[in-house]
Amino acid sequence: MDKLIITGGVSLDGEIRISGAKNAALPILMGALLSDSPVRVGNVPHLHDITTTLELLGRMGVTITVDERSGVVIDPSTLTDTEAAYDLVKTMRASILVLGPLLAKFGTADVSLPGGCAIGSRPVDLHLSGLEQMGAKIKVENGYIRATSGNGLKGAHLMMDQVTVTGTENLMMAATLAKGTTTIENAAREPEVVDLANYLNSMGAEITGMGTSKIIINGVESLAGTQYNILPDRIETGTYLVAAAMTRGKVKLKDTDANQLESVLLKLKEAGADIAVGNDWITLDMQGKRPKAVNIRTAPYPAFPTDMQAQFTALNSVAEGSATIAETVFENRFMHVQEMQRMGADLQIQGNTVLSNGESRLTAAPVMATDLRASASLVLAALVADGATVVERIYHIDRGYECIEEKLQQLGAKIRRVPSSA
Taking the alpha carbons at both ends of the chain, their separation in whole angstroms is 10
Sheet holding 181-185, edge to edge: 157-159, 181-185, 214-218, 206-208
Q: Are strands 137-141 and 144-148 parallel, antiparallel or unpaired?
A: antiparallel
Q: Which residues does the annotation mark as catalytic?
A: 117
Write out the DSSP string of 125-139. HHHHHHHHHTT-EEE
Chain centroid to CA 391: 21
Cα→Cα distances 73→29, 58, 159, 193, Å: 9, 12, 35, 21
Write out the DSSP string of 198-226. HHHHHTT-EEE-BTBSEEEEE--S-B---
Give the length of the chain.
Answer: 422
Bond from prior residue into 300 cis (ω within 30 degrees of 0): no
Tell me, what DSSP letter sits at residue 339? H
